């Protein structure tokens, strides 16, 4: 088992420090805390952190000043994630320019906190995440990346299209690592539901990326914006395409999400689904296992010949993300070294679109409310079994914050606390 990663938590509020520390300790991380910038400097010198969570607004000296100080020091090698309850676009831009890896808003979401930590730490260990690692190391993916690389030389703004689960971000990251990692940082701009932007605000959002360095910006969820807001971005991209070395990729699942860009006659890059590379599935499985063995210290597991044959014929409706989730589930529930067909069938049953086989055949005779409750109970019960009763692991697998998950389990009358053994 690898040595636990050490995380420094810097926040002037005692309660927030304690909450974050408890969460991270529960996940197996080593932690230390600081209530001010000066304490943080001392802690970082006493024990170099693998990651720092840094609050922006603190008395005496704020987090931006501390980040600027750390960035100016050549020996500073740890990544920083900013935390703030009142961050402005200007503040976010400044922190990004100084090298902050992510922003987390208060009140702190447990899921966002852990997901951000895992992603940043994975990049610091391997230089990439599991998806971009696979894109670079699997021959079929590498061939597609070569084609994208060639087309990318012919312009500056592109539509990158794929099915759900292919993980378009990974392809852009892989291209960045191949060509631009020494010249500039990979950037991602993701729009959320009901997000509102204006012309000035959008210009400021693009500001940190409009430089003379060769680098990549990936834009996701652009379809969630209104038509007027899309038009603002289109205008900005048109202006950008003739004056910057930056390559911009707009990720879509359906080409009609990018119709507002048609006038620009952009090149569309299509990423094939996983089922087009079934012969290489055994190699994908093994590379994914090796990645998580190195990153998380899991024990190595190999797939039996029968399980490899089964997965090489499977159509992977969830694409590469489904394959990665499958491997993670198998590593987290290790009973023996060899992965067998029965284990795989159990997990795929929960993953695939035919999930209704978990519940009674009379589902169509039930009301929507009854059917939903029945499915949720069956789904969560089976998931809980697969993770050995570990709520933290269940929370990650079903993508639900732990507080809400506890409420859901209670409402569905699912026993999740380990029963104490009684002695006679």
Among 16-30, 122-136, 142-156, 371-385, the minimum mean pLDDT is found in 122-136
What average pLDDT does the chain have? Answer: 77
Q: How far is CA 126 from CA 120, 122, 138, 292, 403, in A?
A: 10, 6, 16, 10, 32
Q: Each residue of 26-66: pLDDT tens digit?
A: 888 899 999 999 999 999 888 889 899 999 888 888 888 89
Q: Each residue of 146-180: pLDDT tens digit?
A: 998 888 887 778 888 888 778 888 888 888 888 87
Question: Is the per-residue pLDDT at 343 higher than 80?
Answer: yes
Question: Is the per-residue pLDDT at 300 higher than 60?
Answer: yes
pLDDT computed for residue 215 by the predictor? 76
Give the architecture-level CATH label for domain 130-272.
Answer: 3-Layer(aba) Sandwich (3.40)
pLDDT tier at 111 (50, 70, 90 boundaries)?
confident
d(CA 119, CA 104): 13
Q: Is 2 exposed, middle or buried (0-12, 13-18, 19+ CB in 10 A)?
A: exposed
Q: Each residue of 239-259: pLDDT tens digit?
A: 666 556 778 888 887 766 666
What pTM was estimated for this model as a whole?
0.55
d(CA 322, CA 409): 25
Are β-strands 338-339 and 302-303 bridged in parallel, bridged antiparallel, or unpaired?
parallel
Q: Could you tell me if 321 and 168 are in contact, meaning their C-beta atoms sit under 8 angstroms apart?
A: no
pLDDT computed for residue 228 by the predictor? 77
Question: Is the per-residue pLDDT at 384 higher than 50?
Answer: yes
Number of residues that this document lists for the chain: 424
- The CATH superfamily assigned to 359-424 is Homeodomain-like (1.10.10.60)
The residue ranking higher by pLDDT, 141 or 85, is 141
The residue ranking higher by pLDDT, 61 or 424, is 61
Question: Is the per-residue pLDDT at 406 higher than 70?
Answer: yes
pLDDT computed for residue 213 by the predictor? 61
Mean pLDDT of 132-155: 87
The residue ranking higher by pLDDT, 40 or 110, is 40
The domain 6-126 is placed in CATH, from the list 2.40.128.110, 3.90.25.10, 3.40.50.2300, 3.40.50.720, at 3.40.50.2300
SS in 3 state form for the chain?
Answer: CCCCCEEEEECCCHHHHHHHHHHHHHCCCEEEEECCHHHHHHHHHHCCCCEEEEECCCCCCCHHHHHHHHHCCCCCCCCEEEEECCCCHHHHHHHHHCCCCEEEECCCCHHHHHHHHHHHHHHHHHCCCHHHHHHHHCHHHHHHHHHHHHHHCCCCEEEEECCCCCCHHHHHHHHHHHHCCCCCCCEEEECCCCCCCCHHHHHHHHHHHCCCCCCEEEEECHHHCCHHHHHHHHHHHHHHCCCCCCEEEEEECCHHHHHHHHHHCCEEEECCCHHHHHHHHHHHHHHHHHHHHHHHCCCCCEECHHHHHHHHHCCCCCHHHHHHHHHHHHHHCCCCCEECHHHHHHHHHHHCCCHHHHCCHHHHHCCHHHHHHHHHHHHHHHHHHHCCCCHHHHHHHHCCCHHHHHHHHHHCCCCCCCCCCCCC
d(CA 57, CA 345): 50
d(CA 215, CA 245): 7
pLDDT tier at 192 (50, 70, 90 boundaries)?
low
pLDDT tier at 307 (50, 70, 90 boundaries)?
very high
Q: Return the structure tokens found at 19.
A: 């909450």
pLDDT tier at 423 (50, 70, 90 boundaries)?
very low
Q: Return the structure tokens found at 154.
A: 């012919």
pLDDT computed for residue 277 by the predictor? 93
Give me the percent of the chain exceeding a pLDDT of 90: 16
Q: Return the structure tokens found at 119.
A: 């992603």
Q: Each residue of 356-370: pLDDT tens digit?
A: 334 443 444 556 676
Q: Could you tell me if 251 and 169 are in contact, meaning their C-beta atoms sit under 8 angstroms apart?
A: yes
Q: Where does the chain hold its CATH 3.40.50.300 domain(s)? A: 130-272
Among 98-112, 115-129, 200-214, 243-257, the minimum mean pLDDT is found in 200-214
d(CA 210, CA 61): 29
pLDDT tier at 418 (50, 70, 90 boundaries)?
very low
The owner of tokens 């703030």 is 84
Is the CA virtual torsion 330, 332, 338, 340 positive or negative? negative
pLDDT tier at 104 (50, 70, 90 boundaries)?
confident
Q: Where does the chain hold its CATH 1.10.10.60 domain(s)? A: 359-424
Give me the percent of the chain exceeding a pLDDT of 70: 75
Question: Is the per-residue pLDDT at 128 higher than 70?
Answer: no
Question: Is the per-residue pLDDT at 182 higher than 50?
Answer: yes
pLDDT tier at 276 (50, 70, 90 boundaries)?
very high
pLDDT computed for residue 419 by the predictor? 38
pLDDT computed for residue 362 by the predictor? 44
Q: Where does the chain hold its CATH 3.40.50.2300 domain(s)? A: 6-126
Q: Each residue of 197-209: pLDDT tens digit?
A: 544 444 444 554 4
């Amino acid at each position: 088992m690898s040595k636990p990663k050490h995380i420094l938590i810097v926040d002037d509020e005692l309660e927030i420090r304690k909450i974050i520390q408890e969460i991270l300790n529960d996940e197996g991380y080593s932690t230390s805390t600081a209530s001010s910038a000066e304490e943080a400097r001392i802690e970082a010198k006493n024990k170099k952190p693998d990651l720092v969570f840094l609050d922006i607004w603190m008395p005496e000296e704020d987090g931006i000043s501390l980040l600027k100080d750390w960035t100016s020091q050549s020996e500073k090698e740890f990544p920083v994630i900013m935390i703030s309850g009142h961050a402005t676009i200007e503040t976010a831009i400044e922190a990004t320019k100084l090298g902050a890896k992510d922003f987390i808003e208060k009140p702190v979401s447990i899921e966002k906190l852990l997901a951000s930590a895992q992603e940043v730490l994975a990049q610091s260990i391997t230089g990439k995440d599991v998806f971009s690692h696979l894109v670079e190391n699997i021959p079929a993916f590498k061939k597609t990346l070569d084609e994208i690389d060639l087309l990318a030389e012919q312009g500056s703004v592109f539509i990158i299209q794929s099915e759900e689960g292919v993980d378009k971000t990974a392809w852009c990251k892989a291209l960045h690592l191949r060509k631009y990692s020494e010249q500039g940082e990979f950037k991602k701009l993701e729009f959320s539901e009901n997000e509102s932007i204006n012309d000035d605000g959008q210009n400021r959002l693009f500001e940190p990326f409009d430089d003379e360095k060769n680098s990549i910006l990936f834009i996701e969820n652009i379809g969630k914006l209104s038509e007027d807001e899309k038009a603002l971005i289109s205008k900005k991209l048109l202006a950008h395409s003739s004056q910057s070395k930056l390559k911009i990729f707009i990720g879509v699942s359906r080409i009609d999400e990018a119709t507002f860009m048609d006038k620009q006659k952009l090149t569309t890059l299509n990423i094939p689904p996983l089922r087009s590379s079934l012969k290489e599935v055994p190699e994908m499985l093994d590379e994914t296992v090796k990645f998580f063995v190195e990153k998380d210290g899991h024990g190595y597991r190999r797939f039996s010949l029968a399980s490899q044959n089964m997965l090489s014929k499977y159509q992977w409706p969830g694409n590469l993300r489904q394959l990665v989730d499958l491997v993670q589930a198998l590593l987290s529930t290790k009973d023996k070294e060899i992965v067998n067909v029965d284990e795989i069938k159990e997990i795929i049953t929960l993953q695939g679109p035919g999930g209704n086989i978990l519940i009674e055949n009379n589902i169509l005779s039930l009301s929507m409310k009854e059917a939903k409750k029945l499915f949720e109970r069956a789904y969560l019960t089976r998931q809980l079994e697969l993770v050995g009763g570990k709520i933290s692991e269940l929370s990650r697998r079903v993508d639900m914050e732990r507080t809400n998950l506890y409420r859901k389990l209670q409402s569905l009358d699912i026993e999740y606390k380990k029963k104490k053994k009684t002695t006679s």
